[in-house]
Amino acid sequence: MPHLALPVLTAHLRSRGVQVIQRDLNLETYDAVLSRAYLEQVVERLHTEFNKMWRRGLPVKIQRALEQRAGIAAQVEQAKTVFRSPAFYDGETGLAAFGVIQQALELASLPFAPTQLDLLKYVPASPVDSSQSLLQAVHDPQHNIFLGLFKRIILPDIEREQPDLVGISIPTIGQMLAGMTLAHLVKQAGLRCHVTVGGPHISMLRDQLPRVPALFSLIDSAVVFDGELPLLRLVEALNSGNGLDQVPNLIYKAGDQILANRASPMPRKRTSETGDTPDFDGLPLTRYLAPELVLPLMTAHGCYHGLCGFCNVGYGGGKGFYPLPVDQVLEQIATLQQKYGARHIFFADEAIPPRTLRLLSARLTAQGSPIYWCGCARFERILSKGLLEAISHGGGRVLLFGLETASERMIEHMVKGTQRETMSRILKESAQAGIWNHTFFFFGFPTETMEDAQDTINFIYAHQASIHSASPGEFVLERYSPVYLDPARFGVRRIIEKPERDLAVHFDYELESGIDRAMAETIVERLLDVLRSKRFCQFYVHDVYRFLYASHLHAQGQALPLWLADEEAETK
């Protein structure tokens, strides 16, 4: 599934006369790496490097391992074909293809060890929350998998197009190295274009970037918060030759100085009321590793609750909640259907407002439920049995719930604003309505005790007949979250900010009381250890695969599987 940022920015700029070429480097990286030609080159490189280490020949074990890996190169194209076809839904066929892709990514990572690339993430060889380490990593061909790749598949196109502006979206810390590597390559090539970066991760670093002038050897500027208006103003300033001091939310290099213009979220009513439907033109939509096209949309910007202690929604720029009119959302859905043939919509909201759920479901039902959709929702009392049934009738196939904890004390301490009784009812009634329930929960929030953690585990097991998948994890202290801004209020004695990690967005900490991160990790490990592995685990790797699997099962009239169930016992 494409990330929503580029199509939103593209739509805004194109509708105002700006020529835009958009590229999804996430897709292109995986497509290039998961190719027979690339993997055969990897095998050859490994042979060469090992032969240098052992001049008399390769040890037998290493030789056999490389021979097995070489077989993966021959199978990877077929595995991608399976992922992009209905064959993905056949358990055995899809599982075999998933195994090939897993092994192919492991093989592709070997020459850059300890780098690791898998279907969900990229783990760099060195920390990217250190500017010194990051600046070294973008030059490092030994460990940076993107350096040679982008030089071959991206840079020649940029050189040919000769753009005035290259914008790089960096949503998460996991994409920081890739984004900055591309910026480095553009600068190294001597192209006369302005290079800017943006995205959620950059917004979280808005206070740090001006203090790290060395980063501006890679980039010319950074856009923080919402990018539509700043990017348009940046384009206008570059075209006119005027200075950049009037471009909102811009951090930029001017001579030897790093300057920061006013930085605050743009008033959303100025942009969302324009009705721009995300523009996916130019993206190779048939090349995503999914059996059917899934496109993202949003029904609102921000979170209508916006108070949870662990969440940095808004990235410290204020709560800010702007729902789109349901008619506008429906128009966007219709456009995506007509233009791209999309039948699956993934709403990327923090949490879809209950009013939107009600109106959207009713209108889609009246239209004969022309799409399947999924999205995040909060456990609100207003989510009645009737509304959940309406959601199902209106094409809602998966609801992702932030359960977080089932301890009443911790619910209040987190400022979660939910009630255990309501969570229990909604899970049961949602499952009864035929909706796939996915729950997120975690351990280790400040002051949480083992008894609190046990409350959550007990709740999950008590509702195992209503939970179809889950994502357990550990508390992470993020920059600009309420815990970060007011640690004492939540029971954090000290936030540990290391000077060398000058680009950090996640922090270690000391607690006044409660289980620490190590114990939280142990709880998650033990919980997962007692779970039986899913026979067809490929359906659970990613939210998109869960969504498509749930939609497929519903269309086939098949029961939804349960997260905690013993699949072997179910089939007997």
Which of 90-99, 239-248, 325-334, 540-549 is predicted with the least confidence, judged by mean pLDDT?
239-248
What is the pLDDT, as a whole number, of residue 273? 44
Q: Give the pLDDT band (50/70/90) at residue 320.
A: confident
Which of 51-55, 271-275, 302-306, 375-379 is predicted with the least confidence, judged by mean pLDDT?
271-275
DSSP state letters, 125-177: SS-SSSHHHHHHHTT-TTT-HHHHHHHHHTHHHHHHH--SEEEEE--SGGGHH
Q: Averaged over 30-53, what is the pLDDT?
A: 87
User: Please, which residues have CB within 8 angstroms of residue 165's CB and are 6 or more apart in sequence?
Assistant: 193, 194, 195, 196, 234, 235, 238
Q: What is the mean pLDDT of the chain?
A: 92
Angle between helices 176-188 and 145-153 (to 10 degrees): 50
Angle between helices 5-14 and 228-240 (to 10 degrees): 50
What is the pLDDT, as a whole number, of residue 346? 98
Q: Give the pLDDT band (50/70/90) at residue 267.
A: low
What is the pLDDT, as a whole number, of residue 46? 84
477-478 vs 506-511, strand pairing mode: antiparallel
Host H or E run for residue 403:
strand 396-404
What is the pLDDT, as a whole number, of residue 568? 59
Q: How far apart are CA 404 and CA 427, in angstroms?
A: 14
Q: Give the pLDDT band (50/70/90) at residue 270.
A: very low
Q: How far apart are CA 186 and CA 218, in angstroms?
A: 9
Rounded alpha-carbon distances, angstroms, from residue 343 to 127, 333, 371: 40, 9, 5
Q: How far apart are CA 344 and CA 548, in angstroms?
A: 8
pLDDT digits (tens, 9 = 90+) for 377-421: 999 999 999 999 999 999 999 999 999 999 999 999 999 999 999
The two three-digit tokens of residue 378, written as one number = 């909060």
Q: How far apart are CA 34 and CA 72, in angstroms?
A: 10
Cβ atoms 214, 174 nearer than 8 A: no
What is the pLDDT, as a whole number, of residue 466? 98
Q: Give the pLDDT band (50/70/90) at residue 109.
A: very high
Which residues are 470's β-sheet partners? 439
Looking at beta carbons, which pairs linking 120-124 to residues 24 or more positions away fall under 8 Å? 120/541, 120/542, 121/174, 122/174, 122/175, 122/177, 122/178, 123/174, 124/177
Looking at beta carbons, which pairs linking 322-329 to residues 24 or more positions away fall under 8 Å? 322/268, 322/269, 322/272, 323/299, 323/353, 323/355, 323/356, 324/272, 324/298, 324/299, 324/300, 326/299, 326/356, 326/359, 326/360, 326/363, 328/272, 328/275, 329/297, 329/299, 329/356, 329/360
3-state secondary structure 268-331: CHHHHCCCCCCCCCCCCHHHCCCCCCEEEECCEECCCCCCCCCCCCCCCCCCCCEECCHHHHHH
pLDDT digits (tens, 9 = 90+) for 229-248: 999 999 999 999 888 999 99
Q: How far apart are CA 70 and CA 437, in angstroms?
A: 40
Q: How far apart are CA 259 and CA 245, in angstroms?
A: 8
The two three-digit tokens of residue 346, written as one number = 């993934």
Q: Averaged over 338-351, what is the pLDDT?
A: 96
Q: Give the pLDDT band (50/70/90) at residue 566.
A: confident
